[in-house]
Structure 1
Amino acid sequence: MVVLQMILLLCAGSSVANDSCSTNVNIYAELEKLKNMEERIQNLEEMNEALKIIVQDSQNQLKSLQMENQAKKVAFSAGLLESGRGNTGPFHTGKTLVYKKVFSNIGGAYDSNTGIFTAPMKGAYYFRFYGHCHGGPTMAISLLKNGETQCSLHSFKPASNGNASNGVVLTLETGDKISTRLWQNTWVYDDPASYTSFGGFLLFPM
Structure 2
Amino acid sequence: MKIQQNLLFFLEMETVRICVFLLLFLSQTWAETDELQMVDMKQDVGRDNSKCNITVNFWAELKELRDMVITSKSKIEKLEEEKSELLSRVTTNENKVALSDARLSASESETEELKRQITETPKVAFSVGLTDAREIGPFNTEITLKFSKVFTNFGQAYNTHTGVFTAPLRGVYYFRFTGFSSRTNHWFGVILNHNDKRVSLNQDYNDDVAYATISNGFVLELEKGDVVYLVLPSNHVIFDDSSNRTVFSGFLIFPL
Normalised by the length of structure 2, the TM-score is: 0.53
Q: Does structure 1 residue 205 correspond to structure 2 residue 244?
A: no
Query: Structure 1 stretch 139-148 or stretch 69-78: which is displaced more?
Result: 69-78
Note the 1:32-181 alignment, pairs <5 A: 65=116, 69-81=119-131, 84-134=132-182, 135-160=184-209, 161-181=211-231
Q: How far apart are the structure 1 equivalents of 2:238 and 2:193?
A: 17
Query: Structure 1 stretch 132-141 or stretch 98-107: which is displaced more?
Result: 132-141
Contact 1:151–1:168 under 8 Å retained in 2: no
Partner of 1:15: none
* Residue type at the aligned position of 1:197: V
SS state at 2:206 partner: coil
Listed as ranges, the gaps of 5+ residues in structure 2 are 1-111
Contact 2:179–2:215 under 8 Å retained in 1: yes
Contact 1:71–1:107 under 8 Å retained in 2: no
Say if 1:97 and 1:70 are closer, same or farther in 2 by CA, change over 3 A: farther
Partner of 1:14: none
Partner of 2:60: none
SS state at 1:69 partner: helix
* Residue type at the aligned position of 2:144: T
Shift of 1:71: 4.0
Shift of 1:178: 0.4
* Residue type at the aligned position of 2:205: F
Query: Structure 1 stretch 119-128 or stretch 133-142: which is displaced more?
Result: 133-142
Partner of 2:232: 182
Q: Quick one: percent identity of the two aligned structures?
A: 39
Q: How far apart are the structure 1 equivalents of 2:155 and 2:174?
A: 15
SS state at 2:203 partner: strand
Shift of 1:70: 4.9
Q: How far apart are the structure 1 equivalents of 2:151 and 2:224?
A: 24
Report which of the two has the higher share of helix: 2
Match 2:246 to one of 196, 202, 205: 196
The structure with the largest alpha-carbon Rg is 2
Contact 2:181–2:206 under 8 Å retained in 1: no
Contact 1:118–1:175 under 8 Å retained in 2: yes
Shift of 1:154: 1.1
Cα displacement string for residues 63-95 of structure 1 (whole angstroms, at most 9, x for unaligned residues): x947x73543100000001xx332110000011
* Residue type at the aligned position of 2:155: G
SS state at 2:119 partner: helix
Contact 2:125–2:250 under 8 Å retained in 1: yes
Deviation beyond 6 Å, 4+ runs, structure 1: none
Say if 1:108 and 1:71 are closer, same or farther in 2 by CA, change over 3 A: farther
Contact 2:194–2:229 under 8 Å retained in 1: yes
Q: How far apart are the structure 1 equivalents of 2:120 and 2:202?
A: 33
Listed as ranges, the gaps of 5+ residues in structure 1 are 1-60
